[in-house]
Amino acid sequence: MVLQMKLLKKLIPIFILVLASCSDEQDFSQAKDLEVTTDLSGPILSVEASEDVLNAGVFATQEVNFDGFQNENFSDRVLSGVINFQLNNTTSKQLDVTVDFLNDGGAVIDTKFMTIDEAPPEQIVLDSIVYDDSNLEILKNISSIALSVQNNSGTTSVSSLDDPKFTFQSSGSFIIEVLE
């Protein structure tokens, strides 16, 4: 019994040590410093026009409602971005292409002008608009997109390529603040 009590006296400090264990200093308030930003990309608008459409007139405009940039989940969190454009032309027309961004009132708040030569061979034009601190409000107020195409090659020529058409494609890449 004496031996057991001696042993017990030795063991109690071990358990006390377990319960009163050591730990490096921790600063949990660092969690407040966490910032999460992400780089998200997605398609925006594509327009396809056959050569017949271009031969029907020298000028065509297509306006499309696009409220995505005004959605508060986007507009409250976007920090910067770029909208990319790609024009493809297999028609026999040299084209002037204007992309207008309009606000809720229908006013043009940003414009991109591009020109593309006639085919053949197939013509491809790449361009973009960058949005940062200097013009980010424009992006947030875009409500619709108007695409205007000026046909500078008359209304009678026909491309020698199969299925001649003009296509406008666009996508956006944006830095989004997930957690500030």
Partner 1 sequence: MKSIYLSIVVFFIACLSGISQNKELLYNFNEVPQSLLLNPGTSTSFKWYAGVPVLSGVSFQAGVTGITSNDLFAVDGVDFNTKFLDKVVYGMDSKDELSGTYQIEILNVGFRGRKNPNNFYSFGIYNEGDAIGYYFEDYALLAFEGNTNNIDKRFDLSDLKTRGEVVNVYHFGINKKVSRQLDLGFRAKVYSSILNFSSTDNSGYFVTTEGDENLLQATLVADLKINTSGIFELKDAIDNDESIADIITKRALFGGDLGLGFDLGFTYKLDRQTYITGSILDIGFISHTNDLRTYSLKGKATSEGINVILPDDLGSGSDEWRELVDDLESLVPYEETEERYVTFRPTKLYASIGHDFGDEIEPRQDCNCTTKPGGGYVDNIYKNSVGGQLYVINRPRGPQAALTGFYQHRFGNIMSLKATYTVDKYSFANVGLGGSLQAGPVNMYLMADNLFGYSNLANTNYASVLFGLNIISWGKK
Residues near partner 1 (CB under 8 A) are 1, 3-4, 7-8, 11, 14-15, 17-19, 21-28, 30-36, 38-50, 52-53, 56, 60, 62, 64-68, 84, 86, 169-171, 173, 176, 178-180
Rounded least distance, CB 4 to partner 1, Å: 5
98, 93, 100: which is closest to 123 by C-alpha? 93
Rounded least distance, CB 131 to partner 1, Å: 15
Nearer to partner 1, 26 or 156 (CB): 26
- What's the rounded Cα separation, in Å, for the pair 176 and 180? 10
Rounded least distance, CB 109 to partner 1, Å: 17
Nearer to partner 1, 86 or 157 (CB): 86
C-beta separation of 65 from 144 below 8 A: yes
- What's the rounded Cα separation, in Å, for the pair 132 and 180? 18
Query: What does the radius of gyration of the chain's CA atoms come to, in whole angstroms?
Result: 31
